[in-house]
Amino acid sequence: MPFLITDDGCELYYEVRGEGPAVAFASGFMGITDIWKAQFDALADRYTCIAFDNRGAGRSEKPLPRIAYGVERHARDLHAVLTHLGKVRVVVVGHSMGGNTACQYALDHPDRVAGYVPIGSYVSGSQITGAGNTLERIEAAVTSKASRVAFYEAVGLSNEIAMESTKWELYALMGNARSFMAFDASSRIGEIRCPALVIHGDRDIVSPLDPCGLSLRDGLKDVRLEVIEDTNHCPMSEKPDRVNALLRRFLEERVRWNV
């Protein structure tokens, strides 16, 4: 199985499938590669699809110090995976907190990013809090294993994927929760100049379309917003065919791979 060790000694699990231009997928609070299965299945015929389990989730290590977590740290982990694989130009796709990871990576490595696709994401964690999803509320939702599964199912994931979260340590979950709540790219989002595709469900209960998806649309320079009807927080799992079609069109029509 493919693992690598990061610069701070954390062991990460990653997956690669397909050949061609690279598309990297960054997971969110449900931080495992499994959420991207439908996208790997649909795109690996023409693209190299890459994803990794976030530190604190899945098969990756779950370091204890709080400093081990953070969006900047996740972006460095993404860079470690891509460097290990020799990928110097990619499209970054991120779900929820993974959208923060993709955003940070695009800010840190603008010459490497050919496209940016946030799904169910946002510009600032204050938007999540403003929608009523406070850190205390999230902690209450994931403290017990039963409530954790119910939480992930409530935002649009299958029971099979939601059950994976029962294997993770609460400290790791909360380390990641603090990470996405603290994120704030509002002063820098306009620096991302590559083509962007914002995908958002119209019934997102975690990061509502207004203000979250709309703020991404308004802050990015070269962007298209696609709102998926009757969809909650996880469009890539709830409406995979629609998301896959949008991704394929974006990759084929708007990405400038060789700039």
| Residue 68: predicted pLDDT | 83
Q: What percent of the chain has pLDDT over 90?
A: 93
Long-range contacts, stretch 145-154, CB < 8 angstroms, 24+ apart? 148/173, 152/30, 154/205
CB 94 within 8 A of CB 101: yes
Token reading at 170: 């609460």
- Of 134, 143, 133, 183, the C-alpha closest to 26 is 183
Q: What is the pLDDT of residues 144-182, one digit of tens each?
A: 999 999 999 999 999 999 999 999 999 999 989 988 899
Q: What is the pLDDT of residues 59-115, one digit of tens each?
A: 999 998 766 888 999 999 999 999 999 999 999 999 999 999 999 999 999 999 999
Q: What is the pLDDT of residues 128-137, one digit of tens each?
A: 999 999 999 9
Average pLDDT estimate for 22-50: 97
| Residue 101: predicted pLDDT | 97
From residue 149, give the alpha-carbon distance in Å to each of 41, 44, 58, 239, 254. 25, 30, 15, 20, 37
Q: Bigger pLDDT: 140 or 1?
A: 140
| Residue 1: predicted pLDDT | 62
Average pLDDT estimate for 9-28: 97
Q: What is the pLDDT of residues 183-239, one digit of tens each?
A: 999 999 999 999 999 999 999 999 999 999 999 999 999 999 999 999 999 999 999
* 151 dihedral zone (left: phi>0; alpha: psi -120 to 50; beta): alpha
- Quote the pTM value: 0.96
Q: What value does the mean pLDDT of the chain take?
A: 95
CB 103 within 8 A of CB 189: yes
Helices (H) and strands (E) in the chain, counts: 11, 8
